[in-house]
Structure 1
Amino acid sequence: MTDWQAFTVEIADHVAQVTLIGPGKGNAMGPDFWRELPEIFRALDADPQVRAVVLTGSGKHFSFGLDLAAMGGMLAPVLADDAKAAPRTEFLKVIRSMQDSVTSVAECAKPVIAAVSGWCIGGGLDLIAAADIRLASADAKFSLREAKVAIVADIGSLQRLPGIIGEGNLRELAYTAKDIDAVRAERIGLVNEVFDDQEAVVAAAHAMAREIAENPPLVVQGIKDVLEQRTSPAVAEGLRYVSTWNAAFLPSKDLTEAITAVFQKRAPEFKGE
C-alpha cells in the first residue's frame, strides 16, 4: 500500500496490521487520521488477500483521541457569536465526514480486532467501538471523555456501545466521563480479554486473526454482513441525529471555556451557557 502519515499498514499471511502512528502525541487524531482511515479500510476491504485486520497503536498508548490543537480550526467559525446557517452547515459536513471515517472500520467486510494498550480516549473509543472484537493489555485505560470538554460524543460511541457494554454502563461512562481500567473494561464487555502487556495483546490479536483467516473467507464476511444488519440501520440513524444536534447546539460558552482550559492547562469552569 502507499505511504501514510497517520498509520502504517503491513500485510502478511492474510492478516493486515493497521497501526496508528500520530503524528500527534499519543496517536492523537488530526487531519491525516480522518482523511486516511477510510482510504485504508476501503482498500483492505477490496483486497482479496486480506481476511482479517488487527488495529493497534504505536508507542505506549492506543490514542489520546481528537487532536484539539490540529483540529481546533474547524470549530472556530461555528463558535463565533454570529454563526448562522452557513458555518453550521459546514460544521455538519465535517462531523459527518469524521463519522464516515470511523464507520469505514465497521463497514469493512473483513473482521477487525482492536489491540489496545495505554490510554484509549474519546475518538479512540469511537474507533474501537467500530471494531468487531476488542482486546486489551493490563495497563489499558478507557474514557468516553467528551462531556469533560463540553461535547456530546458524535463519532459513534453513543450509537455502537449500547450493544457492546449495555445501556447502564454506557450512560455511566458518558455522563461522568470517568476513566476505567482494563479490569472494569473486561467486566462490562468492552474488551473480550486482558493480557499482560502490549506485546502480548498484539500477539493475541494476531493469533485470533489467523484463526479467523483459516476459515472460508466469504463465509466469515457473510457472517459479519448478517450481524451488521441487526445494528447498522440504528447506528446510521443515531449518527445522523447527533450530527444535526451538535451542528445546532454544540457551540457554547462552555465549549469555548473547555478548549481554553485545555490550552492553558487548568481546570475548566462550566456555567451551563
Structure 2
Amino acid sequence: MGTAYESVTVDIADHVARVTLIGPGKGNAMGPAFWDELPEVFGTLDADPEVRAIVLTGSGKNFSYGLDLPAMGATLPALDAGAKARAEFHTKLQRMQAAITAVADARTPTVASIHGWCIGGGVDLISAADIRYASADAKFSVRETKLAIVADVGSLARLPLILSEGHLRELVLTGKDIDAARAEKIGLVNDVYEDAEASLAAAHATAAEIAANPPLTVAGVKDVLDQQRIARVSESLRYVAAWNSAFLPSKDLAEAVTAMFQKRPPQFTGE
C-alpha cells in the first residue's frame, strides 16, 4: 500500500490483507495513533478492488491490552469538568467510536485471530469483526466496568448481536476474565485453536475461502447482513456517548485509575 502506519502493519497477498496491531503501547495498547489510523487503514483496504477479505491480528504475545491509559488519560474529563470539556470529550469519543465502526461497516469481510489478552478496547475491536477465531491461550475481558467506565466504543452496542443476553450481562457487569474455552462456549469466538499460529492460519484459510467467492456477491451479503444492525448499533453508540459525557467523570474513575497504577485493590464509593 506504500503507507507506513504507527499502530498497524498491512500485508496484502492473494486478495487477502492482514492487518496486525503493533502498538506502540505495551501489549498493542490503543493510543492516539490507533484511533487516528484505523479508519484510514480500513477505508483504504475497502476501496482496493484487489482486497476481498481482511485478517486482523496482534503482534507479540497478546492481541491487545485495550485503551492505552497512560497515552489517552488526558482524553478522560476531570471530575469538575464543565460543559465545554464534556462537549469536547463527546466529540473525541464519537471519533473513537467511528474508528471501530470503520471495521464493522467495511464492505470487505474481516476475520479476527485473537491470542493472549484481549481486553477492553480489544473486545470492542473484535466485536466489529465478522468472524472470530482464538488460540487456546486467549483471554477476554470487558475490563472497563472494573475501571468505573461504561464501555463506550462498541462492545455494549455490538455484543448483544453476538452473545445471548445472560452471557453478555455476566461478562459486562462483572468485568471478569474468561478463557478461550469459555469464549467459544458462549459464542464470542467461532473456534479455538492450539496456538496463535494455528488460529492465524485458520483465519487466513477462511479469508481465502471468502476471497475465492464472487466479490460483488460477498459485498452484497455483508451489506444485507449489516443493514439489519447498523441503525441499532448507531443508536446505541450515540446514547452511550451522551451518557458517558454526562456521567463518566467520577471519584470512582479517579480511584480506579489510581489503584491500578498503585497495584492495589480499589475502594469504590459510588460517587
Q: Specify the TM-score bucket, using the shorter chain as the normaliser.
A: over 0.9
Q: Alpha-carbon deviation of 1:38?
A: 0.6
Shift in CA distance, 270/147, structure 1 to aligned 2, threshold 3 Å: same
Partner Cα separation in structure 2 for residue 159 and residue 4 of structure 1: 28
- Measured in 2, the distance between the counterparts of 1:262 and 1:93 equals 27
CA deviations on 1:83-115 (whole Å, 9 max, x unpaired) are: 221000000011100000000000110100000
Shift of 1:168: 1.1
Q: Is the 2:6–2:24 Cα contact (8 Å) retained in structure 1?
A: yes
Alignment of 1:221-260 (within 5 A): 221-260=219-258
C-alpha separation in 2, matches of 1:91 and 1:103 = 18
Note the 1:157-176 alignment, pairs <5 A: 157-176=155-174
Aligned-partner residue type, residue 236 of structure 2 = G
Instruction: Please list every run of at least 4 consecutive aligned residues from structure 1 whose deviation after the TM superposition is greater than 2 angstroms.
Output: none
**1:85 aligned residue:** 83
Q: TM-score, normalised by structure 1?
A: 0.98
Q: Does 1:7 align with 2:8?
A: yes
Partners of 1:57 and 1:272 lie apart in 2 by 36
The amino acid across from 2:28 in the alignment is: N
More moved, 257-266 vs 247-256? 257-266
* Distance in 1 (alpha carbons) for counterparts of 2:10 and 2:91: 28
Aligned twin of 2:74 = 73
Equivalent-residue separation in structure 1 for 2:165 and 2:227 (angstroms): 20
Distance, in Å, in 1 between the alignment partners of 2:137 and 2:117 is: 8
Q: How far apart, in 2, do the equivalents of 1:49 and 1:232 lie? A: 26
Structure 1 equivalent of residue 25 of structure 2: 24
Rounded to whole Å, the distance in 1 between the matches of 2:246 and 2:168 is 24
SS across alignment from 2:203: helix
Moved more, 54-63 or 255-264: 255-264
Q: Amino acid of the residue matched to residue 172 of structure 1?
A: E
Query: What residue identity is the alignment partner of 2:22?
Result: I
Deviation at 1:259, TM superposition (A): 1.1
How far apart are residue 74 of structure 1 and its match? 1.2
Q: Does 1:207 align with 2:205?
A: yes
Cα distance in 1 for residues equivalent to 2:249 and 2:164: 29
Normalising to structure 2: TM-score of the pair? 0.99
The answer to whether 1:49 aligns with 2:47 is no
Structure 2 distance, partners of 1:265, 1:36, is: 32
**By how many angstroms is 1:263 displaced?**
1.7
How many residues are aligned here?
A: 270
Residue 140 of structure 2: SS of its match in structure 1?
strand
Q: Percent identity?
A: 66
- Equivalent runs, 1:166-205 vs 2, <5 Å: 166-205=164-203
Structure 1, residues 171-224: CA drift from partner, whole Å, max 9, x if none? 111100001111111111110000000000001100100010000000000000
Measure the CA separation in 1 of the matches of 2:119 and 2:62: 10
Distance 2:132 2:151 in 1: 20
Match of 1:139 among 137, 150, 154: 137
Distance, in Å, in 2 between the alignment partners of 1:210 and 1:129 is 21
What SS is found at the alignment partner of 2:162? helix
> In 2, Cα distance between the equivalents of 1:5 and 1:139?
27
Rounded to whole Å, the distance in 1 between the matches of 2:260 and 2:123 is 20
Query: What CA distance in whole angstroms lies between the structure 2 residues aligned with 1:209 and 1:104?
Result: 18
Following superposition, the deviation at residue 80 of structure 1 comes to 4.1
RMSD: 0.7
Is 2:31 the partner of 1:33? no
Cα shift at 1:22 = 0.6
What SS does structure 1 have at the residue aligned with 2:221?
helix
For 2:229, give the aligned amino acid: T
